[in-house]
Amino acid sequence: MSVPILNASGCLDALTAPEVARSLDAFVTKTVTPLPREGNPPPRIAEADHWMLNSIGLQNPGIDDWCTGSFPRLRALGVPLWVSVGGFSASDYRLVCERLNELEEVEVVELNLSCPNVDEAPETAAELVAAARAATAKPLYAKLSPATSDIAESARAVVDAGADGLSLVNTIRGLALDPETLRPRLALGPGGASGPALRPIALACIHACANAVDLPIVGMGGIASGADAIDAIAVGASAIALGTILFSDPAAPARVRAELDAEVASRGYGSAAEIRGAARGSPSTAISSSN
Ligand SMILES: Cc1cc2nc3c(=O)[nH]c(=O)nc-3n(C[C@H](O)[C@H](O)[C@H](O)COP(=O)(O)O)c2cc1C
């Protein structure tokens, strides 16, 4: 069995790049909220060699327009569809999940519980999952932030609240300055950091959660090659998602799959899935840090 390759939410517009969406095992939408959102003011993306910083602010058409406008066109692509859901309260999550529950072609609901660029809901992640769970029978994946002191504890809490899987990880808050003006490069100052710089952080999170709970995990965070994918699978990912790499290399899904298959064969495994958890069981928390 091969390991599915998805896109990371917000990193691919399937309607403008349908051939890229069709090269994935499932397409994950940008986060949809109850009401339309224009997002944050520009500039809201800054890039460097090893990271990208974004502060898009959950720009989306809102669930009503999404259902009538985007959904029929996404369904027509014929790619399994995951919908990312966001909001600012438990009732927001419940409302969007109720609407999605009516749409047969929506295979999975991914709960964005961790956007660093908007105000957070007052409820805990577990309470948001519980609200979504009450509204839909569809599989629910909880997307967690790496910026937490104990992500394994968060994983246990969302699993107890009814999550069927985890998506790990979202971006982590960062700041970039313009070298000339020494002012922040993004209009709102900080943004969510993604790309290769996020990879070791993501690996530690996937490792900690895979040691804590026995659920499927979509691993993401700086994955750009077959070797990166192997690492994510070895720490416990059962699927991987490509995010920032898609902006510079839209052909990454096919390339990463080919690299992954070659790595698997050269290591003498029959399939990538056999590598899952090779690093599991090893310590995932440090008692004392190295500095
Ligand atoms: C431009 C941009 C927009 C994003 N929008 C969303 C979003 O709408 N919802 C979400 O859950 N994550 C969003 N993310 C986070 C990604 O899905 C992913 O978790 C993160 O970028 C880490 O993966 P990567 O390093 O491979 O990009 C966004 C990331 C970027 C770079």
- What pLDDT does 286 receive? 59
- What pLDDT does 288 receive? 45
- The finding on whether 52 has its CB within 6 A of some atom of ligand 1 is yes
Instruction: Tell whether 51 is covered by a domain.
Output: no
Q: Which residue is closest in CA terms to ligand 1's atom 31?
A: 244
Closest listed residue to residue 73, CA positions, set 20, 133, 18: 18
Give the range of the structural domain holding residue 132, as residue numbers without chain letter: 5-37+58-179+195-275
What is the SS3 assignment for 272?
helix
Compute the distance between CA of residue 128 and CA of residue 108 in angstroms, rounded to an integer: 16
CA of 6 to the centre of ligand 1 (A): 12
**Ligand 1 atom with the shortest distance to the CA of 54:** 1
- The finding on whether 143 has its CB within 6 A of some atom of ligand 1 is yes
**Ligand 1 atom with the shortest distance to the CA of 60:** 8
- The finding on whether 128 has its CB within 6 A of some atom of ligand 1 is no
- The finding on whether 10 has its CB within 6 A of some atom of ligand 1 is yes
Instruction: Tell whether 47 is covered by a domain.
Output: no
Instruction: Tell whether 22 is covered by a domain.
Output: yes
- What pLDDT does 1 receive? 60
Instruction: Tell whether 286 is covered by a domain.
Output: no
- What pLDDT does 116 receive? 77
Q: How many domains does the chain fold into? A: 1
What is the SS3 assignment for 27?
strand
Phi, then psi, of 221 in degrees rounded to 5 = 130, 90
Q: Please state whether beta strands 52-54 and 191-194 pair in parallel, antiparallel, or not at all (unpaired).
A: antiparallel
CA of 10 to the centre of ligand 1 (A): 5
Angle between helices 226-234 and 252-266 (to 10 degrees): 60
Instruction: Tell whether 263 is covered by a domain.
Output: yes
Compute the distance between CA of residue 142 and CA of residue 125 in angstroms, rounded to an integer: 8
**pTM exceeds 0.95, yes or no:** yes
What are the beta bridge partners of residue 290? none
Closest listed residue to residue 224, CA positions, set 201, 246, 191: 246
Catalytically active residues are 115
Which residue type sits at 245?
Answer: I
* CATH code for the domain in which residue 150 is found: 3.20.20.70
Q: Which residue is closest in CA terms to ligand 1's atom 7?
A: 10
Strands of the 52-54 sheet, one edge to the other: 45-47, 52-54, 191-194, 172-174
- H-helix or E-strand spanning residue 258: helix 252-266
Residues 59 and 38: beta-carbon distance below 8 Å = yes
- What pLDDT does 179 receive? 96
Instruction: Tell whether 229 is covered by a domain.
Output: yes
CA of 57 to the centre of ligand 1 (A): 11
Instruction: Tell whether 280 is covered by a domain.
Output: no
Instruction: Tell whether 123 is covered by a domain.
Output: yes
- What pLDDT does 115 receive? 81
**Ligand 1 atom with the shortest distance to the CA of 245:** 26
Q: Which residue is closest in CA terms to ligand 1's atom 26?
A: 243
CA of 192 to the centre of ligand 1 (A): 8
Residues 9-18: b if buried by 16+ CB within 10 A, e if exposed: bbbbebeeeb
| Residue 180 CB contacts under 8 Å (≥ 6 apart), including other chains | none
CA of 92 to the centre of ligand 1 (A): 20
List per-residue pLDDT tens for the chain, 291 residues long.
Answer: 689 999 999 999 999 999 999 999 999 999 999 999 999 999 999 999 999 999 999 999 999 999 999 999 999 999 999 999 999 999 999 999 999 999 999 999 999 998 877 888 999 999 999 999 999 999 999 999 999 999 999 999 999 999 999 999 999 999 999 999 999 999 999 999 999 999 999 999 999 999 999 999 999 999 999 999 999 999 999 999 999 999 999 999 999 999 999 999 999 999 999 999 899 777 776 554 445
- What pLDDT does 26 receive? 98
- The finding on whether 174 has its CB within 6 A of some atom of ligand 1 is no
